[in-house]
Amino acid sequence: MNLPELIIPKNLLAKRPKLLSYICRKIFKAIGWQAVGKLPENKNIMVAVGPHTSNWDFVVGMLFVFGWDARINWIGKHSIFKPGVNRLFRKVGGIPVNRSAPETLMEDIRKVTDEYKNYILAIAPEGTRKKVDKLKSGFIRISNQLQCDIMLAGLDFKRKMIVINEPFNPSGNLDIDLSAVREYFANFGAKKTNNFFYLTIEPVDLQ
């Protein structure tokens, strides 16, 4: 995979302390990881990240976010925003989602995205690090309501790469769209392959 090192557009930088970014990037690279690909400039972006199978996904992701000084908000289950880490998770871009109250989701997201002219919003279509039978389509619905572009991002523990390089244009048919995203994620090595459902289910019939 011959892609350039990822550069965060200036309008999507968080402007955190330079020392923090320097340290996190050094650690990220010292443990053998690299971030490659390209993000569009002057656009609002929904980044669908996968495969998501382990808590280590979050650790590597945060090293990238701080190392590249990226201003990224991410959507996570409300249950992980527990006392003691709730404020920290929100401070590093977290937006809790309570699936029992989906009617408040867009309001919570817009409270964050409306602060900026441009933004990156990250979400794992699996919805959990545990093994699942199918992807969730919420990221497509959210992007439609926000009218933002979708980029696919691969989290590859086999090659130790974060790859953000694939624009995704939904067709309007959820079966076809989710199958395409699933096939893209199947190119990347999950941390816990036993939780990687793409290896155990039959492909969606697109006929």
Q: Domain range for residue 139? A: 10-196
Q: What is the pLDDT of residues 71-100, one digit of tens each?
A: 999 888 887 788 888 888 888 888 888 767
Number of domains in the chain: 1
Burial of 71 (0-12, 13-18, 19+ CB in 10 A): middle
Report, as an integer, the average pLDDT of 161-190.
89
36-72 tens-digit pLDDT: 998 988 889 999 998 988 889 999 999 999 999 999 9
Cis peptide, bond prior to residue 203, ω within 30 of zero: no
Both tokens assigned to 65:
């976010």
Residue 183 included in any domain:
yes
38 assigned to some structural domain: yes
pLDDT band at 150 (very low <50, low <70, confident <90, very high): very high
Domain presence at residue 49: yes
Summarize the confidence of residues 174-202 as an average pLDDT. 75
* 120-123/149-156 β-pairing: unpaired
Q: Residue 60: what are its φ and ψ, rounded to 5°?
A: -65, -40
Q: What is the pLDDT of residue 207?
A: 29
Q: Does residue 202 belong to any structural domain of this protein?
A: no
**In-domain check, residue 3:** no
- pLDDT at site 20: 95
Does 158 fall in a domain? yes
Distance CA 17, CA 23 (A): 10
